[in-house]
Amino acid sequence: DTAIEAMKIGATDYITKPFKLDEIKLQIKKSLHLSNLENQVDFLRQELGKKYGKMVGQSDAMKEVAFLIQQVAKTGATVLITGESGTGKEVVAVEIHKASNRVDKPFVAVNCAALPEQLLESELFGHEKGAFTGATSKKKGRFEIADTGTIFLDEIGEMPISMQAKLLRVLQERCFERVGGTETIDVDVRVIATTNLDLANAISHGTFREDLYYRLNVMRISMPPLRSRKEDIPLLVNHFLKKFDPSNSKKISSVAMKILTSYNWPGNIRELQNAIERALIVCQGAEIKPEHFPKDLLNSLEETTTPVLNIAEGGFSLEEMEKHLIIKALEKHNYNQTKVAKYLGISRPTLLYRLKKYGI
């Protein structure tokens, strides 16, 4: 019994009497080795947190993303990050750069969807003086600026087809000429590209080059939409609360959190971040409640998940929303009040009070 109690409070092993000196030495050596391993695990967890601190989430999908970041960062491979808008593709690109041996070199971003073709070519490769109207001086392009570092090509699927051929040459030969120039410039740069488009579909429609796709798709990381990893929403909410309210002066109510985890977030993490930032601005008290969220979010939730909820034009009934959530929780947990209270994040007496209040 004494040995069992000792194990419960932290002992790693026990030795029965009579014991030998060699046995004690062996057990001490094993305990020290185990302690060293535990310290190493703690250290590695801390280091992983430092490297991938902006990757918020404990879902299997995000663990896989964190693992891929760790693996690909060790190489110089070209990376293609795919996923819907707002899923955190740029964050992943930055984390790959920070974890690579190019961390102290430039990280240069280009939005391929934001510029017309002529300006995009000049932006990427630079231009010589007089190359076109308005080119009053020589200018370095983003590839030249990113030399020895990383260039981040955001929304590569929007790049004009003629520009894709020029990009392909840089990926293949690691050199280019400025617009209006003849000098060939060599470049050592890692390319990370993102897209929210289905590039296979774009290839079939002739809007994206197949050879460029294969050059980019050396290492692929697919970002999951927020609706497929809802278990991460509370972590993200708390992350944004700390980001926008460092003094930690406001909390989020359990009902408000349930609404956030019920919504499908078509705008993904970016939409959630905006919702939390807005809620902190409009909330005058110490607790964020449903009425502090954008009305279109609540209306969308009503249409998709809560058809019996009445959100009238110009306002809505918070009590009706709370009653509906309790009913749904009861149905989900077969009217087990203990489980329902835990699910809603309230005490059982509070649940009983609200059941009585709403006549449920």
pLDDT tens series, the chain, 360 aa: 565 555 445 565 666 677 677 777 777 777 776 666 655 545 544 444 444 446 789 999 999 999 999 999 999 999 999 999 999 999 999 999 999 999 999 999 999 998 888 789 999 999 998 888 888 899 999 999 999 999 999 999 999 999 999 999 999 999 999 999 999 999 999 999 999 999 999 999 999 999 999 999 999 999 999 999 999 999 999 999 999 999 989 999 998 999 999 899 999 999 999 999 999 999 999 999 988 998 888 877 665 544 444 444 444 566 777 787 888 888 888 888 888 888 777 788 888 888 888 888
Check: CB of residue 354 under 8 Å from CB of residue 337. no
Angle at which helices 337-344 and 254-262 cross, to 10°? 80
- The helix (H) or strand (E) run that includes residue 200 is helix 199-204
Count of CB atoms within 10 A of residue 308's CB?
A: 10
**DSSP classification of residue 179:** B
Residue 84 one-letter amino acid: E
| d(C-alpha 268, C-alpha 237), whole Å | 12
Structure-block tokens of residue 341: 């209270």
| d(C-alpha 240, C-alpha 234), whole Å | 10
| d(C-alpha 45, C-alpha 199), whole Å | 36
Instruction: Provide the greatest CA pair distance for the chain.
Output: 95
Q: Tell me: cis bond preceding 160? Omega within 30 of 0 counts.
A: no
> What confidence score (pLDDT) does residue 1 get?
55
SS3 56: coil
> What confidence score (pLDDT) does residue 313 get?
46
**Cα–Cα–Cα angle for 223, 151, 168, nearest 5°?**
90
Structure-block tokens of residue 72: 């690909």
